[in-house]
A and B are shown apart, each in its own frame.
Chain A
């Protein structure tokens, strides 16, 4: 499998996700793992997976992800996503995906208006996807969040549709999987932490699975996401 991580000015989790993916790719040590694609490069090589990393693309100065959504590489990402190439957007990458319209909804400022960085639990809502095949539905994962704008919103009928079609990937939950208001770090509608597109080839999520995919960092609940992707796309 070949993967690309798109690097925008201000991306800062690009290396982190590259490292996490690489450790799930057998033999990747030799070829360096995922390729890094500069945002001005609209003509990057054919890959099986595109990752939009976390960070503060363009400083988040206009609106998170808004300027990245108009970057040359993103025009190509949108085109490829529409032709079925899987795309994973983490944190700022999720914000870009909603800004480009590849995913529905939007991410507003956290309900408490402050940046929040801590481990949270998220419940896997479905195992029926490229991204979540290695998890059992209903499992609570421990993964960190680190964002100022993760408060997911969409119109009520849109949220209903997402639920009906099984497009909710993850919800914030307690350690035992219970969905509670207290477990929601940012005020996201219906505790939504991550959503798919209709074909489940595009996933956006606010938490950072790449930050807990290594026992030395205190947990590996994020790792099956990368293992599963590599397996499904190899």
Chain B
């Protein structure tokens, strides 16, 4: 740095004490490195910038070396991780753009705004790249239903997700909601957006063109969300309530205008680069744009549109006010760009320009108030190989050692009406899941189906994770999450193309947690390779802990697949009486880490179900082929609660019962393990043509057997009395509205 600037910087007069450094979440080592890079002590503004850029949230310092091991390329990958969202080729000149991101910490502190701004943030990641968002999904994990905060958090998060998505006019088509005491002090709110763009018009964030204007558009900058990224990288304690001011406030109306204005401008050739203002606001966005372009940037902070007077550079640079974007505009196109944003009544301000200095220079009233080198700061961002150890295998759990229920029907009624397996109708009816008039497969099925506008093709989208399995065996759990997400796509007739992942874990500085993270990433990588679904985007959320207790490991997978003909898809509902019900895949009756074990018996033990990726691929290919060939009338993947729960869901969706019998060769498996076991790679399908379907399975080397026939007003399990659909429905639909006090 030049000598002439030094006096100005010193004049900002900040004395950086060790306490201030600690408050900014930097270790002593990291602070020393910051001094090395600057060649002097930073002032408070600069310290704030270091803190944000090197936070776990922005730097991925604990996970980076493991994320690099994931498969990220493939024939249809256009852009993998590293941009705002992943981009895949979906044919006919179009690309799907998608990503999932967490907003866990803010949602626990302030559930409505936390969830709402989570949705807003992920939407921006997608339309920043030139895609029109066509679907939102949400993976939500709450604490035990009887925990005093849970009801309040459920109500707030669901209202926030709906409040934002409904107003923006992007359908919320699916996701997950689960309850576990492990999230009592730290809920998870993971939001996913999928968009569609012309594949030759993808916008990225790498700046170019020294002298080009840096333009700020959208909402004004306020004092909200300052240091959100640092908060999101810290554990919670009993004082966390005091962090409420670090939660941002969402304005979905402005987001809607921003979407339309950006897409309108993107149809011209005015934009060189574009980046949304997310975590760490202006700091992170301008840094990334300049860093990716190998350039410098000079910002004149007097020109930043502010919500109130007297905001300091520190506040402006670290504010996480929502609904803002940064763009680099082609020279001479500024006025045309301004006209678009003025049409939509949005702020538009030239706040700086690109330089060749490789530095970020921040000016206020003509004076330099901050001056940092870009590449050294980005490159020196810490990267840790934190200690981990493969976790010991969990002891096997023989099905025989797990007590059978007195009455399978009653056990099924209990499970289908339990917090984790009951109907989520109460949730999805608060989300507009039909706006844009392309929702072909609505919530409640295995995967959402959203038609590609003005075509007969559709994207299938699902999110999945089974933390019970990840806890028992991180590697198997990671693989299972990918396998099940893909199974959900296969079950509607879609070809899985790629995934996004949202890795939610506790404090990685503890070996136990780091081992979970490593194991899950290994499992995800193996499954993605085997199933041909690369990871194209993702997010890591660590330090999900309260008072030293980590959440269950929760690597949520969002999978996207393609349907070529919406007429050749299936749902889970039984379609007609008298059809054969066929179970596809091998059933051994695995009860370890199952819902039956946990919810019917109150036991958390046993290993995760083995994941045979070759079988997943084989069985999935078979099922997809059958659906595309019009040879099955309904299909459902088997997951939590196993066969019995899947049967009940199909019967309820179709309002049509079934009679079920265990096939002869299942006699070695105890009945309750056959009914409630959670063996993987399995599907239920219905057909009027049993013979040819079983032949096709045999030819593919896939186990398949008829287990029953559809029909009647009740579901009859082997050796049990008929359970009326009315009774099943009352149990299934009753719990959540009752719990929420409706």
Chain A residues near B (Cβ < 8 Å): 9-10, 12-13, 15-16, 19-20, 54-56, 58-61, 112, 114-118, 144, 146, 148, 208, 210-211, 214, 216-218
Q: How far is the CB of B313 from chain A (nearest CB, A)?
A: 31
Q: Which of A16, A55, A112, A118 contacts B437 (CB 8 A)?
A: A16
> In the complex, A16 Cα to B254 Cα: how many Å?
21
Binary contact track B157-198/A, C-beta < 8 Å → 1, others 0? 001001100111100000000000000000000000000000
Q: How many residues of B are in contact with the other chain, CB < 8 A?
A: 33
A56 adjacent to B566 (CB under 8 Å): no
B429 adjacent to A118 (CB under 8 Å): yes
Q: B257 near A: Cβ within 8 Å?
A: yes
A59 adjacent to B251 (CB under 8 Å): yes
Q: B606 near A: Cβ within 8 Å?
A: no
* Extra A-B contacts (12), CB below 8 Å, given A10-B256, A54-B435, A117-B434: A9-B253, A12-B436, A16-B436, A16-B437, A56-B166, A61-B253, A114-B430, A116-B429, A117-B166, A117-B428, A148-B166, A210-B437
A117 adjacent to B431 (CB under 8 Å): yes
Q: Which of A55, A116, A214 contacts B430 (CB 8 A)?
A: A116
Total A-B pairs, Cβ < 8 A: 86
> In the complex, A65 Cα to B383 Cα: how many Å?
52
A216 adjacent to B566 (CB under 8 Å): yes
Q: How far is the CB of A52 from chain B (nearest CB, A)?
A: 15
Q: B29 near A: Cβ within 8 Å?
A: no
| 6 cross-chain pairs, A with B, having the tightest CB-CB distances, nearest first | A12-B169, A59-B253, A16-B437, A56-B167, A146-B432, A117-B432
Within 8 A of A (CB), among B216-245: none
Q: How far is the CB of A213 from chain B (nearest CB, A)?
A: 8
Residue of A nearest to B435 (CB): A12
Q: Could you list some 5 contacts between A and B, CB below 8 A?
A: A10-B167, A13-B169, A146-B435, A216-B440, A217-B440
| Contact residues in A for B251 (Cβ distance below 8 Å) | 59
Q: How far is the CB of B430 from chain A (nearest CB, A)?
A: 5
| Contact residues in A for B166 (Cβ distance below 8 Å) | 56, 115, 117, 146, 148
> In the complex, A208 Cα to B345 Cα: how many Å?
28
B435 adjacent to A114 (CB under 8 Å): no
Q: B742 near A: Cβ within 8 Å?
A: yes
Q: How far is the CB of B454 from chain A (nearest CB, A)?
A: 8
Q: How far is the CB of A212 from chain B (nearest CB, A)?
A: 9
| Contact residues in B for A16 (Cβ distance below 8 Å) | 435-437
Within 8 A of A (CB), among B421-459: 428-440, 442, 451, 456
Q: Per DSSP, are chain A's interface residues mostly helix, strand or loop, or mixed?
A: mixed
| Contact residues in A for B566 (Cβ distance below 8 Å) | 216
> In the complex, A210 Cα to B159 Cα: how many Å?
25
Q: B252 near A: Cβ within 8 Å?
A: yes
Q: Which of A61, A115, A210 contacts B432 (CB 8 A)?
A: A115
> In the complex, A10 Cα to B169 Cα: how many Å?
8
> In the complex, A218 Cα to B441 Cα: how many Å?
9
B169 adjacent to A117 (CB under 8 Å): no
Binary contact track B682-717/A, C-beta < 8 Å → 1, others 0? 000000000000000000000000000000000000
Residue of B nearest to A17 (CB): B437
Q: B66 near A: Cβ within 8 Å?
A: no
Q: B384 near A: Cβ within 8 Å?
A: no
> In the complex, A217 Cα to B440 Cα: how many Å?
5
> In the complex, A54 Cα to B437 Cα: how many Å?
12
A112 adjacent to B742 (CB under 8 Å): yes
A56 adjacent to B256 (CB under 8 Å): yes
Residue of B nearest to A60 (CB): B167
B435 adjacent to A13 (CB under 8 Å): yes
Q: How far is the CB of B260 from chain A (nearest CB, A)?
A: 8
> In the complex, A13 Cα to B742 Cα: how many Å?
29
> In the complex, A16 Cα to B256 Cα: how many Å?
16
Q: B344 near A: Cβ within 8 Å?
A: yes
> In the complex, A146 Cα to B251 Cα: how many Å?
20
B162 adjacent to A115 (CB under 8 Å): yes
> In the complex, A41 Cα to B436 Cα: how many Å?
24
| Contact residues in A for B436 (Cβ distance below 8 Å) | 12, 15-16
| Contact residues in A for B742 (Cβ distance below 8 Å) | 112
| Contact residues in A for B433 (Cβ distance below 8 Å) | 117
A217 adjacent to B439 (CB under 8 Å): yes
Residue of B nearest to A13 (CB): B435
A58 adjacent to B430 (CB under 8 Å): no
Within 8 A of A (CB), among B251-271: 251-254, 256-257
A12 adjacent to B434 (CB under 8 Å): no
> In the complex, A210 Cα to B254 Cα: how many Å?
25
> In the complex, A56 Cα to B430 Cα: how many Å?
15
> In the complex, A54 Cα to B169 Cα: how many Å?
10
> In the complex, A118 Cα to B742 Cα: how many Å?
16
B437 adjacent to A211 (CB under 8 Å): yes
Q: How far is the CB of B443 from chain A (nearest CB, A)?
A: 10
Q: How far is the CB of A125 from chain B (nearest CB, A)?
A: 25
In the complex where A12-B435, A146-B432 touch, is A56 in contact with B440 (Cβ < 8 A)? no
B257 adjacent to A9 (CB under 8 Å): yes
A58 adjacent to B168 (CB under 8 Å): no
| Contact residues in B for A54 (Cβ distance below 8 Å) | 435
B434 adjacent to A10 (CB under 8 Å): no
